[in-house]
Structure 1
Amino acid sequence: MEHYLTTDGRPELPPSWVTLELLTFGELIHLVRNLAEREDRNAIAQVLGVNEPLLISWLRSYQRVRNICAHHGRLWNVGLGVYPALPRSRRVAWLDRPEVLNRDQRRAKRLYPVMVSIQSVLTTISPRSTWASRLAALLDENPSVPLDGMGFPHDWSTDSFWSRHLADPQ
Structure 2
Amino acid sequence: MWVAVEAWDFGDLSEFFELLNSKYQNLILARLGLNNATMLSRWMQQTSHLRNRCAHHTRIWNQASPNPLAVPAVPYFQMMGLDQHALKRLYGVIAVIWFLLKKIAPASTWINDVADLIDSKPAMPGCTFKAMGFLDETGFPRKLFGIYQVAA
TM-score (normalised: structure 2): 0.80
- Aligned partner of 2:2 in structure 1 is 17
Aligned runs of 1:140-151 on 2, under 5 Å? 140-144=119-123, 146-151=128-133
Q: 1:77 aligns with which of 62, 67, 82?
A: 62
Summarize the Cα distance change of 1:48–1:166 in structure 2 as closer, same or farther, 3 Å threshold.
farther
Aligned runs of 1:32-47 on 2, under 5 Å? 32-35=17-20, 37-47=21-31
Summarize the Cα distance change of 1:167–1:53 in structure 2 as closer, same or farther, 3 Å threshold.
farther
Summarize the Cα distance change of 1:66–1:82 in structure 2 as closer, same or farther, 3 Å threshold.
farther
Q: Secondary structure of 1:58's partner?
A: helix
Task: Identify unmatched segments of 5+ residues in structure 1.
Answer: 1-15
Displacement, 1:22? 0.8
- Aligned partner of 2:79 in structure 1 is 97
Summarize the Cα distance change of 1:31–1:17 in structure 2 as closer, same or farther, 3 Å threshold.
same
Displacement, 1:41? 1.0
Contact 1:77 1:149 in 2 (8 A): yes
Q: How many residues align?
A: 143
**C-alpha separation in 1, matches of 2:104 and 2:148:** 17
Task: Identify unmatched segments of 5+ residues in structure 2.
Answer: none
Percent identical among aligned pairs is 32
Bigger Cα Rg: 1
Q: Secondary structure of 1:101's partner?
A: coil
Displacement, 1:117? 0.4
Q: Secondary structure of 1:87's partner?
A: coil
TM-score (normalised: structure 1): 0.72
Displacement, 1:96? 4.5
Quote the RMSD (CA, aligned, Å): 2.3
**C-alpha separation in 1, matches of 2:47 and 2:95:** 12
- Aligned partner of 2:33 in structure 1 is 49
Contact 2:71 2:77 in 1 (8 A): no
Q: 1:152 aligns with which of 134, 137, 141?
A: 134
